[in-house]
Structure 1
Amino acid sequence: MSMHPAARDHCLSLVRSVDRPTGGARYGRMFPGLEPLGTDPHVLMRAGSDGGICDAAAALDLGAGGDDAEQAAGWPFFGQLLAHDTTADRSPLMGGVETDALRNARSPRLNLEMLYADGPIGSPYMFDANDPAKFLLSPDGYDVPRNQQGIALIGDPRNDVHIFTLSLHVALLHAHNRIVDHLRTHGVPEADVFDKARIALTWHYQWIAVHDFLPRLVGQALVDEVLEDGGKWFNPEPMNAFIPLEYADAAYRYGHGQIRHAYHLVEDGPELPLFPDLVGFGPLPVDRRLDLAQIFDVPGRPPAQRAKRLDGRLAASLIGLPERITGAVDESAYRSLAVRDLLRGDTTGLPSGEEVAKLLGVPPLPLSITGDTWPGGTPLWFYILKESEYLADGDRLGPVGGRIVAEVLIGLLRADPASYLSLEPDWQPMLPAAGDTFGLTDLLIPAGSR
C-alpha cells in the first residue's frame, strides 16, 4: 500500500483553522431601526401546529405534481448545507439569551468548514491515515466514516440529519478526493496537494452558490445587481462579517417550505416520507442509498422530482418531527418545525414582514394574502413564504426574502479575504462541465459516473 506523508500545518494557508474566530462569531441586525413585532407565542404555536395555517396537510393537492415548484427537489437541501456552513445557533428555542449575547458556532464564511473542520492535523479521524490529503469514507464509499456506535465522524453532525444532507456531504467528500487525484496527475508537490484541493473545492462551491444556486432562488437580475453595486442593507467590511438575524431566523428558513413530505430515492422505487423513514444519525442502510439524479436534473437522465412550491405551509413530515430530531420536548407543538421557525423569529425580536417591505420600498402584501391571523403584523418568516407564493408563484423568493438572502450570501463572500470574490472575482471553474456552464451537478455527479 502506498503511503503519503502526513499533511503539514501551513502558517500562511488561505484555509488555516487559526483564522477562524477565537470566540463565537456575531449575530446582528440587517435592519436595526425596525421595532420587534412581538406576537403572542400562543398565536404562533396555533398557527404552526397540526391543523394550523402552516400545515400543508389540510390544503395538500394530492394530484400528480399539484404542488410542484419549478426547481428540482435537491436545491433546498443544498441550501441547508450552506446554512450549516455559516450558522449554528446553540441558544434555547424559547429564548432567555440577549441578542447581543448570541454567538454563532460557525465562522460567517462559505468556506466548507462543515466539511473540513480543522483539516488532517486537527481532525485526523476524518482523513485517510494512509493518504491524509484525502477524506476517509465508508468501505463501500456510500457513507461517511463512523465510530463503533454509528456516530458520523464529520465536520458538522447536522449533515447526518437525513439521507439528503448526508448524500450531499458524501458527494463533496468524493469531489475533494477527485481534485486531489487531479492535482497529483498535474504534478502538484505532495506537500501542497491538500491545501490546493481544499481551495479548489471551496471556490467551486462558492461559485456555484453565486452562479447556480442564487439565480434559481432570487432571480438572475437581483444577483447581477448585488454583484455589481454591492449590498444596500448588508455590506460588511473584510474580516468583519456577521450573520443578520433577519436572514438566519426568517429569510433563510425559506427552504423548510420547499421540502416535500415524501421522496423516491431511486427510479421506480417506493415513495418514502422524509421523517421518520429517511432520518439519519446512523449508518446508511443499503436500501436507503440515494441516486442524486432523483433530486437534481442531470443531463441524459429523466427530470428529477421537484421541490414543493413555497406557500407558507410545511409538509406533514415537518409538522410532526420525530424525537430523534427535536429531542424530548415538554410541549407537543415544539415538534413542528413551523412552530420552531415562528418562535425563533419572535425570540430574536424580528420585525414584521410589512415593516421590512416598507423599508425596502416594496408595497406590503395585502391582508387577503397574509391572512387575518396576524392583526399586529405578519411574522417575517411567514411573510417571506407568502410573498413568494403571491409574487413568484412559489418558485423563488420575492423582493423582501430575495433581497435579504442575496445580499447576505454575496456580502459574506466579499467580507471573506480568502473567497474567490475577494481574490479573483473573474475566476471560472476549472472542473469539466456537461453543458455550457459549470453547475452543482457537475461537482456532485461527474460525467464518468452518470
Structure 2
Amino acid sequence: MEVVQVPHSTPPQVHGSHQVARDHCLSPARAVDRPTGSARYGRMFPGLEPLGTDPQVLMRAGGTGGICDAAAALGEVSAGDDATEAAGWPFFGQLIAHDVTADRSPIAGGVDSEALRNARTPRLNLEIVYSNGPIGSPYLFDLADPTRFLLGPDGGDVPRNHQGVALIGDPRNDVHLFSLTLHVALLHAHNQIVDKLRADGVSEGDVFGEARTALTWHYQWIVVHDFLPRLVGAPLVQQVLAEGGRWFAPAPLEAYIPLEFADAAYRYGHGQIRHTYRLVEGGPAVPLFPDLVGFGPPPADRRLDLAQIFDLPGRPPAQRAKRLDGRLAASLIGLPEQVTGAVDTASYRSLAVRDLLRGETTQLPSGEAIAKQIGAEPLTADELEQNWPHGTPLWFYILKESEHRGDGDRLGPVGGQIVAEVLIGLLRADPASYLSLEPTWEPTLPTAGPTFGLADLLTLRP
C-alpha cells in the first residue's frame, strides 16, 4: 500500500552509507533553513486598544474561590459538567500548541510585547516529534535503524536518561500522562509508516523523508478536518478554507503567532480539563495534577488506555471533556511545583491567574472590542456573570462566549474566528504543508470509518 505521494521540490540525491540521515539533512525541513532569530509574535487586531485591568483584580478572579474556580460548583454540576466531545481533544490541542508556539518570557511584568520571540517555528510540522532529525537529534532515533524512533523498553514510554529525563522532541510533552501518551502514539505511527513504506518498496534513502511527510500531512489533515470542526464548527472551517482569513492571512514564509491566539483564544483547553480521569476501564478516577504529573517514567499503575479519553473503533464511548463555562478544575487552580517551578506569589500556582495575567502583560484588547470588530454580538453582563467595568479580559471572554454561544461544547464567534483563521493560515503560509503543495490531497492511511481521523492515527501501532 502506498502511504503518501508528495511532489519533490528537488531532484533525488545520491546517498551515502547513512542514507536516511543525509537525506534528512538535505531536506527542506532541516534546521539550517530555520530563521536565524526566533520567530515573531504579532497581532490580529493591531488597531484595538489594550484593555488594561488591575492585576490584583485578575489574581482575585483567577485564584482560589474566584470566578474561575470550579471547585465551589462541583456539587451542582455532576454529569451536567460533561461536554459532547471526548476528554482527549484538549490534550491533542495542547500538542498543536506545543508544535507552533513556545514563549519563554515571564508571566507578568517587565515584558515588551513587541520583543517577544517564539522559540518554535510557527508551522504545524511536528517539530515537537522530529526535532532536528537523526543527525541533529540522534538520541531520539534507533541507532541500528535511524529511520525509526526509539521507544522505552516496553513501547509505552519515550526513552529516558539514567535520571528519568525524557529524550523527547519537546520536554513539554512530558508534562503529564496524557500529552506523553499522545506523543508516544505519534512515535508508533511514524514507525508503522516506515514499515509500510518499506513493504511498498520505497528506497532506503527516501524512507525517512517520506514517512515524516506522511505523518505530518495526516496530522495536518486531522487538524483541519477532525479537530477544528469539533472545536469551531464545520461551517466556519469551510468558510475559512474557501475564502481565506479576514484577519490573519500571512504570506508564504511570513507566518507569525498572533498574541490574541497564543495568550487567549488557544488557551480555551484549560477550561475543558475534567475534575478527574479514569485511566483504564473500571479504574479509579484521579485528578490531572498532582496525580498524573509527568517529568519522569510513568508508574506501572499510571498507564493510560487511550480508549478512555478518545472514541476508538470497537470500544465503548470515552469520558467526555469538561464543558466550557469560564471555570477551571481545582487541579489547575493549584498547580504543583513540578509544573510551575518555584513561584514568589502563591496566586501564580493558578493556571487561571497565569492566563489572565498573560493577556494583561501582552496588552490584549477586551473580548467585547474584538466581537464588535468582527461583527459578532458581544456577551451581556448577565452572560459574563462578572462585572468588568472597562471590558472583559479576552481569555475569560472566550470561555464565557463558548458557554453561551457554543453550548459549552465549542468556541463562540470570537474564539472560533481567531483559532480557525490562525491554524489554517499557518498551514497556508507553510510551503511544505499539504494545503500549500497539494490542497486536494486526502489521507492514504487505513481508516475504520468513512473518513480518516485522529482515532485512526492513534490506533496505527503494532
Answer whether TM exceeds 0.5 for this pair: yes
Of 403, 407, 421 in structure 2, the residue corresponding to residue 389 of structure 1 is 403
Aligned twin of 1:7: 21
Contact 2:232 2:416 in 1 (8 A): yes
> Deviation of residue 298 (structure 1)?
1.1
Q: What per-residue deviation string (whole Å, max 9, x for no partner) do you get for residues 317-345 of structure 1?
A: 00000011001111110000000000000
Letter in 1 for 2:240: V
Q: What per-residue deviation string (whole Å, max 9, x for no partner) do you get for residues 364-397 of structure 1?
A: 1001111343111000000000001011110000
Contact 2:24 2:133 in 1 (8 A): no
Contact 2:23 2:206 in 1 (8 A): no
Of 110, 126, 144 in structure 2, the residue corresponding to residue 112 of structure 1 is 126
Aligned twin of 1:313: 327
Aligned twin of 2:148: 134
Matches of residues 160-239 of structure 1 in structure 2 within 5 Å? 160-239=174-253
TM-score normalised to structure 1 length: 0.97
Distance in 2 (CA, whole Å) between partners of 1:363 and 1:440 is 33
Contact 1:226 1:407 in 2 (8 A): yes
- Residue 239 of structure 2 is aligned to residue 245 of structure 1: no
Count of equivalent residues? 446
Bigger drift between 328-337 and 7-16 goes to 7-16
Aligned twin of 2:435: 421
Distance in 2 (CA, whole Å) between partners of 1:406 and 1:309 is 20
Extract unaligned runs of 5+ from structure 2. Answer: 1-16
Aligned twin of 2:412: 398
> Deviation of residue 5 (structure 1)?
5.6
* Partner SS for 1:27: strand
* Partner SS for 1:362: coil
Distance in 2 (CA, whole Å) between partners of 1:266 and 1:372 is 39
Q: What per-residue deviation string (whole Å, max 9, x for no partner) do you get for residues 72-124 of structure 1?
A: 00000000000000000011011312111100000000000000000000000
Aligned twin of 1:159: 173
Contact 2:428 2:436 in 1 (8 A): yes
Contact 1:5 1:132 in 2 (8 A): no
Distance in 2 (CA, whole Å) between partners of 1:300 and 1:62 is 33
CA RMSD of superposed structures (Å): 1.3
- Residue 344 of structure 2 is aligned to residue 334 of structure 1: no
Aligned twin of 1:28: 42
Any runs of at least 4 consecutive aligned residues in structure 1 with deviations exceeding 3 A, and if so which? 3-6, 9-12, 61-64
Letter in 2 for 1:60: L
* Partner SS for 1:409: helix
Extract unaligned runs of 5+ from structure 1. Answer: none
Q: What per-residue deviation string (whole Å, max 9, x for no partner) do you get for residues 137-167 of structure 1?
A: 0010000000111000011000000000000
Contact 1:29 1:245 in 2 (8 A): yes
Distance in 2 (CA, whole Å) between partners of 1:186 and 1:297 is 30
Distance in 2 (CA, whole Å) between partners of 1:85 and 1:41 is 30
Of 104, 108, 111 in structure 2, the residue corresponding to residue 97 of structure 1 is 111
Letter in 2 for 1:166: L
Q: What per-residue deviation string (whole Å, max 9, x for no partner) do you get for residues 193-251 of structure 1?
A: 11110000000000000000000000000000000000000000000000000000000
> Deviation of residue 10 (structure 1)?
4.4
Distance in 1 (CA, whole Å) between partners of 2:18 and 2:171 is 28
Letter in 1 for 2:284: P
Aligned twin of 2:298: 284
Distance in 1 (CA, whole Å) between partners of 2:370 and 2:77 is 36
Aligned twin of 1:354: 368
> Deviation of residue 11 (structure 1)?
5.8
Q: What per-residue deviation string (whole Å, max 9, x for no partner) do you get for residues 300-333 of structure 1?
A: 1110000000000000000000011001111110
Aligned twin of 2:52: 38
Letter in 2 for 1:75: W
Distance in 1 (CA, whole Å) between partners of 2:226 and 2:271 is 20
TM-score normalised to structure 2 length: 0.95
Letter in 1 for 2:295: F
